[in-house]
Amino acid sequence: MIELFLRALPLLQKAVLVTIGLGLSAFVLGCALGLLIALARISPYRPLRWFGFAYVSVFRGTPLLIQLLLIYFGLPNYGIVLEPIPSALLALTLFAAAYLSENFRSGISGVDKGQWEAAWSMGMGYWKTMHRVVLPQAVRIALPPMGSRLVGLMKDTSLASTVTVVELTRVAEQIGATTFRYLEMFVLVGAIYWLINQVLTIGQTWLESRLSRQLP
């Protein structure tokens, strides 16, 4: 096992960077898009609410693998050709945004209405109230499910191997094919995924603790 690990190490080092880069980038972009979708879901304007609902329904109701394949193999039919990594990033971002929007929406809904009323009584408008009062509290409420989504997203990057992105799973397949030691390679890669997600979980726990102290 150690000999196999050392043999695969150069490829694994690059693959870890691709996996982490894809996961974190998709999470950050998904948070930005998810927040916009959440605001659309709670908007007083019906077209925006329907758009938000339709978006969440489509991207939560269909497999990520299908979305990834549609973007990579389907968009070229309409003249839009994306490289493997941008295709994977786009698919992961759109998919994550659907789930993160629900996390944000539940967090915003969990903020007491009195907070809104107090801010409005001080002359704050909707956006200032949202930025200064509601969102900081909503993020604290939504942080646990958002952390779970990040962990899930990091594992979902394994699907990028289907469009030839050389991430951890793809490396396991390549090394397994050349050495016929598939079991050992997938155990090694599984352990790396576990280690990455353990670090993320520890970070989430620390952040939750810090926010709890700052926002009693």
Could you read off the pLDDT of 161-215 as tens digits, one per residue? 999 898 889 888 888 888 888 898 899 999 999 999 999 999 888 887 877 665 5
CATH number at residue 46: 1.10.3720.10
- Of 25, 2, 6, the closest CA to residue 160 belongs to 25
User: Which one-letter amino acid corresponds to residue 55?
Assistant: Y
Distance CA 76, CA 2 (A): 43
Domain count, the chain: 1
Q: Between these two residues, 60 and 4, which has the higher pLDDT value?
A: 60
SS3 16: helix
Q: Is the pLDDT of residue 85 over 90?
A: yes
SS3 166: coil
Q: Which residue has the tokens 């970070």?
A: 203
pLDDT tens digits for 19-72?
A: 999 999 999 999 999 999 999 998 888 999 999 999 999 999 999 999 999 999
Residues 22, 167 contacting (CB under 8 angstroms): yes
Residues 1, 188 contacting (CB under 8 angstroms): yes
Q: What domain range is 107 assigned to?
A: 2-214
pLDDT of residue 213: 66
pLDDT tens digits for 143-163?
A: 888 999 999 999 999 999 999
**Chain-centre distance for alpha carbon 1:** 32
Eight-class DSSP state of 138: H
Q: What average pLDDT does range 109-119 have in this prediction?
A: 77
